Amino acid sequence: MTIRTALQEATTALERAGVENAAANAEWMMADVIGCSRPALPLHWAKPLEPAQIQRWQSLLTGRTNRIPLQHLLGTAQFCGLEFEVNRSVLVPRPETELLAEAAWAVAAVKESAVVLDVGTGSGCLAVAVAAHAEETIVHALDVSPAALNMARANAERHGVADRITFHEGDALRALPSVGLFDVIVSNPPYIPSLEIESLQVEVRDHDPRLALDGGADGLDFYRSLARHSLSRLQPDGRLLLEVGDGQAGAVVELITAQGGRVLEVLPDLNNIERIVVASADNS
Ligand SMILES: C[S@@+](CC[C@H](N)C(=O)[O-])C[C@H]1O[C@@H](n2cnc3c(N)ncnc32)[C@H](O)[C@@H]1O
């Protein structure tokens, strides 16, 4: 079987299984199997798969037709141009969160030795991307899940920024780390309303940790808590940067304003959905 035929057959099988972007998924898996980049695949189309490659290819294809996320099968996810190790303990980093990372490192980079707190760090994608792009930044990364913190630590090591990130195990709904004031508090908290989790895509519902998804009855539990507890932990010119779910921006703006914060802007994502709320503690 040539690589081209394998790709065509896989695309059909993935489409039948209900996988979104079936052709792209097949190509990512094949690129991994034969060890080339996805754009270079056409150069290999006419070649046959070798026996060891067939075994790995079939195992990936079976996994993906069973709706296991591509990133779990490959063990890695791309985020802000960096490769992150992922497993079932952490949310697979999402493209829309790259916007949050960029906004956070843009604020951090203009300050000398900015101190950043990442609340609900998961894979560490935000903490590591900020540390990697704003090179003098000191980062604190908090998560309630010890398994997620292990993965985040591994990713910090992988990208050579572990010496500038301190990891804290704790419950963000109770307290933020007591390490002084922050120049930036950034968070992509769990924000799915509890009852909506069952209706999510299989890959998300069955494979992302529930802890990373469940934002309570209306999805706003973490925003309520962060609005109450984070504004007083910002430096006078500090910024609170929050990712929000589709349709949640208005409610989050109200929560922050009700606690005396000032919302500076709400940034849209690439689909023009209001996605990032930027606020300061200063309401003057
Ligand atoms: C939506 S995920 C975000 C992960 C990562 N920052 C990202 O953007 O991909 C939310 C994270 O919050 C963590 N989390 C859930 N409840 C928490 C709590 N009470 N305190 C601290 N972290 C919590 C989860 O373990 C998960 O890693």
The sign one gets for the Cα dihedral 171, 242, 135, 71 is: positive
**88-280: CATH topology:** Rossmann fold (3.40.50)
DSSP-derived secondary structure for 219-254: S-HHHHHHHHHTGGGEEEEEEEEEE--TT-HHHHHH
**Strands of the chain, DSSP E:** 76-79, 82-85, 115-119, 138-143, 165-169, 182-187, 234-243, 262-268, 274-280
Q: Distance (Å, rounded) from C-alpha 126 to C-alpha 117?
A: 10
Please report the pLDDT score of residue 282 as a whole number.
Answer: 78
Residue 85 in tokens: 């190790």
pLDDT value, residue 283:
57
Domain boundaries, the chain: 3-66, 88-280
Cα dist from 231 to 96, 215, 224, whole Å: 24, 20, 12
Using the mean position of ligand 1's atoms as its centre, give its distance from the Cα of residue 242 in Å.
12
Q: By CB neighbour count within 10 A (0-12 exposed, 13-18 middle, 19+ buried), where does 265 fall?
A: exposed
Residue type (1 letter), 155: N
Q: Whose CA is closest to atom 17 on ligand 1?
A: 144
The pLDDT profile of the chain, 284 residues, written as one tens digit per residue, is 899 999 999 999 999 999 999 999 999 999 999 999 999 999 999 999 999 999 999 999 999 999 999 999 999 999 999 999 999 999 999 999 999 999 999 999 999 999 999 999 999 999 999 999 999 999 999 999 999 999 999 999 999 999 999 999 999 999 999 999 999 999 999 999 999 999 999 999 999 999 999 999 999 999 999 999 999 999 999 999 999 999 999 999 999 999 999 999 999 999 999 999 999 997 55
In the numeric block, which tokens belong to residue 205? 């519902």
Q: Which amino acid is at 80?
A: C
Q: Which residue has the tokens 């993965």?
A: 151
What is the structure's pLDDT at 1?
85
Put residue 21 in one of left, alpha, beta given phi > 0 → left and psi -120 to 50 → alpha.
left
What is the CA 66 to chain-centroid distance, rounded? 23
Which residue shows structure tokens 């290999």? 44
Measured in degrees and rounded to the nearest 5, phi and psi for residue 76 equal -140, 160
* Ligand 1-lining residues (CB < 6 angstroms): 90-91, 93, 97, 120-123, 125-126, 142-145, 148, 171-173, 188-190, 211-212
What is the best residue among 96, 99, 121 to mutate for testing ligand 1's pocket, by most ligand atoms within 8 Å of CB?
121
How far apart CA 7 and CA 1 sit, in angstroms, is 10
CA distances from 263 to 79, 148, 159, 231, 253 (A): 27, 30, 33, 11, 6
